Amino acid sequence: MKKFIYILLVMVSCAVSSCMIPFDPGFDKTPLIFLEAFPGTDADYVMFRILPAYSKSNNPVVIPFKPEIIFEVNGNTVPVECVDAEEGYYKADYKSVAGDKMTVSVASEGFQSIYAETTIPPIFPERKIDYRKEYIGSDDYDNVLYVTFSGADPKYSYGVQFLNEVIYDDETLGTRWYLYSGDVYSPIDDSAEIVPVSLEATDIRLNGNSLLAWDGRLLDSNLSVLAVEPTLYGYSVDDIYESFFERRGERNHYDQDGNVIGTVSYFEHNKIRLFTMTEEFYKYKVANEFESDYSGFVSFIAPSNYCYTNIDNGYGAFAGASVVETDWITKEFIENNR
């Protein structure tokens, strides 16, 4: 990986950039500091990524980057240790809880000092969860999971993610899990009046995994329905609806050369992870998705170097999220929560 990064992010339209803070590194001759951290209630630590960032107008001069990091939670300093200086990873051993007020400042000689703050949002509101078949005609069905809740706060965004766990009988294979989001459900026109639907969600990346996120400003505070068609990871899909709850089966077992050496039994199930995200979290991730999806040709139709950042005098994001997990999804779980 290159030691220094160039910030050349592109947004897709003036409408999108209207809610973003313009950042143009091409006219800033002082090297900046890049910081990215997403403290959440699902981890026992806070991980920071901190790197030197040069604009196009900087001379390619190597300036030693030795960051001094001050991280505070509710006014108390929490020590930060270096994990990997080359890749820019730093870690604070602290388990976040809803309501935590966090600040971080970073200074290094030759760079502008930066500052950022965030507050961990409240956990996902009380909700009802349903998973059912929706008839779409010609004896075809969509298998749809609904998360229904009230009290959506426009200051936050809300997300749905699935945790899929596969347990193998063979100890050498162990247990494997996957995080995924599925697809936003859009019913056919003639069922729109009877089937509740979510508003359009943005599929963003979080630590390399997919997360469906809805902007709280666009949700109905009285009643919000997030509708998703989950992805199924199993090896047997004789009944896709039933398979989402729990699945047992066998699959081929291969050696290192790819030869089949037998079969192995497995057990598979899913649970739901529900996110409440700060506005900064949502905006930054959406901006990154646009840059990733449209870079290469969008610069011909939109202003360049526009992206969201909540880092004073720097670039990146410091934004919190609360995460809760449901129990493993079974028929009994669905019946008790709808």
Percent of the chain at pLDDT > 70 equals 79
CA distance 337 to 326: 10
pLDDT at 304 over 50: no
User: Where does the chain hold its CATH 2.60.40 domain(s)?
Assistant: 5-121+279-320
Give the Å distances, CA to CA, from 259 to 4, 222, 236, 266.
Answer: 44, 57, 21, 19
Work out the average pLDDT over 93-99. 96
Give residue 138's pLDDT band: very low, low, confident or very high (50, 70, 90). Answer: confident
Please tell me the predicted confidence (pLDDT) of residue 271: 95
Tens of pLDDT, residue by residue over 38-83, are 999 989 999 999 998 766 555 556 788 899 999 999 999 999 999 9
208 burial (CB, 10 Å; 0-12 / 13-18 / 19+) is: exposed
Give the Å distances, CA to CA, from 176 to 267, 268, 324.
Answer: 11, 10, 20
Tens of pLDDT, residue by residue over 247-256, are 888 888 888 8
Give residue 237's pLDDT band: very low, low, confident or very high (50, 70, 90). Answer: low
Q: pLDDT averaged over the chain?
A: 81
Closest CA to 247 of 149, 164, 140: 164
pLDDT at 10 over 50: no
Is CATH 2.60.40 the classification given to domain 5-121+279-320? yes
pTM assigned to the model: 0.81
Hey, is 155 helix, strand or coil? coil
DSSP string, 74-112: TTEE---EEEETTTTEEEE-----TT-EEEEEEE-TTS-
Give residue 144's pLDDT band: very low, low, confident or very high (50, 70, 90). Answer: very high
62-71, 157-166, 229-238, range with greatest mean pLDDT: 157-166
pLDDT at 191 over 80: no
Please tell me the predicted confidence (pLDDT) of residue 149: 94
* 281 compared with 19, residue with greater pLDDT: 281
CA distance 196 to 220: 12
* 292 compared with 324, residue with greater pLDDT: 324
Give residue 258's pLDDT band: very low, low, confident or very high (50, 70, 90). Answer: confident
Give residue 291's pLDDT band: very low, low, confident or very high (50, 70, 90). Answer: low
Please tell me the predicted confidence (pLDDT) of residue 236: 54
Work out the average pLDDT over 84-105. 95
Work out the average pLDDT over 167-189. 85
Please tell me the predicted confidence (pLDDT) of residue 215: 93
Please tell me the predicted confidence (pLDDT) of residue 233: 67
| Out of 4-8, 24-28, 90-94, least confident range | 4-8
CA distance 125 to 59: 50
